[in-house]
């Protein structure tokens, strides 16, 4: 089984800078199931849309005042990784796996 990331990828990007969208897109090309969380100083709908269209699974603006949403996004990324690992094991072994692998 190929090695999987054990944590989400958190990127600090500003989408007014050239190449920011390409960074997210290239991470997704390397690992199409990785959870990519973007932090940005820009809180525009355009920045959000660019990040999500290029593969970000979550988008937050800085400064971070209330960490609850960020913590939930990171927890969801870990849970998605666990589900992906269980699916891979099931596909390879034909067994149903309960719990972490």
> Residues 45, 71: contact at Cβ < 8 Å?
no
Question: What's the domain range around 33?
Answer: 9-93
At 71 the pLDDT is 82
Q: Does the residue 3 lie in any domain? A: no
Q: Does the residue 4 lie in any domain? A: no
pLDDT tens readout for residues 54-92: 999 889 888 877 788 888 888 888 787 777 677 666 777
Q: Does the residue 100 lie in any domain? A: no
Q: Does the residue 13 lie in any domain? A: yes
At 1 the pLDDT is 43
At 54 the pLDDT is 92
CATH number at residue 50: 3.40.50.2300
99 pLDDT higher than 80: no
Work out the mean pLDDT of the chain and round it to a whole number.
Answer: 79
Q: Does the residue 68 lie in any domain? A: yes
- Looking at the 3D structure of the chain, how many domains does it have? 1
At 6 the pLDDT is 59
DSSP single-letter state for residue 36: E
**What is the distance of C-alpha 79 from the center of its chain?**
11
At 4 the pLDDT is 55
Q: Does the residue 87 lie in any domain? A: yes
Q: Does the residue 101 lie in any domain? A: no
């Amino acid at each position: 089984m190929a090695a999987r990331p054990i944590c989400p990828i958190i990127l600090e990007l500003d989408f007014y800078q050239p190449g920011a969208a390409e960074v997210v897109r290239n991470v997704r090309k390397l690992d199409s199931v990785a959870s990519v969380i973007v932090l940005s100083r820009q809180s525009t709908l355009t920045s959000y849309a660019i990040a999500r269209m290029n593969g970000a699974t979550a988008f937050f603006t800085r400064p971070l005042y209330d960490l609850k949403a960020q913590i939930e996004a990171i927890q969801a990324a870990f849970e998605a990784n666990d589900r992906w690992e269980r699916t891979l094991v099931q596909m390879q072994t034909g067994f149903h796996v309960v719990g972490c692998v």
